[in-house]
Amino acid sequence: MNIIISSISAGITGFESPANGYIQKALSFDDLLVEHPSATFIGVAQGESMIGSGIFDGDILIIDRQVTAQTGDIVVANFNGEFVCKILDLKNKVLISSNDKNQPVPIHKCDEFSIEGVVTRSIRCHRKSPLLQL
């Protein structure tokens, strides 16, 4: 796929021709979205718990296992046998939703908990893709 990158600026005396800034480059979505191909997987968001972070039901999540999770990162984690997408708070040992309807979930020593990866990107599809249907 090729894209056209356009830089449009207004000069003091008026607008330059938009054609002056066009540069055509080849673009691979893999190169754009995936930093660590062998450590990256894709998930589909379900529910409304992350809408405050711009992640909506049906959005595609790019999840990188090579990135070290830090406080404030959006992660996909296995929490007591369920895959969840939440904001990680390592200091307080809680998983936080970005929807005020959901309370933070404490991570106790007795919980089964593992971070599966850090959400590095999310993509919103305006039409449902048959490729993403389970």
The one catalytic residue in 86, 91, 97, 129 is: 86
Indicate which residue of 28, 49, 93, 98 is catalytic: 49
- The whole-angstrom separation of Cα 84 and Cα 60 is 14
Please say if 38 is a catalytic residue: no
| Residue 49: active-site member | yes
From the list 100, 95, 132, the residue with the least C-alpha distance to 115 is 95
Contacts of 112 (CB under 8 A, 6+ apart): 78, 79, 80, 81
Q: What is residue 25's three-state secondary structure?
A: strand
DSSP 72-96: T-EEEEEETTEEEEEEEETTTTEEE
Instruction: Write out the catalytic residue numbers.
Output: 49, 86
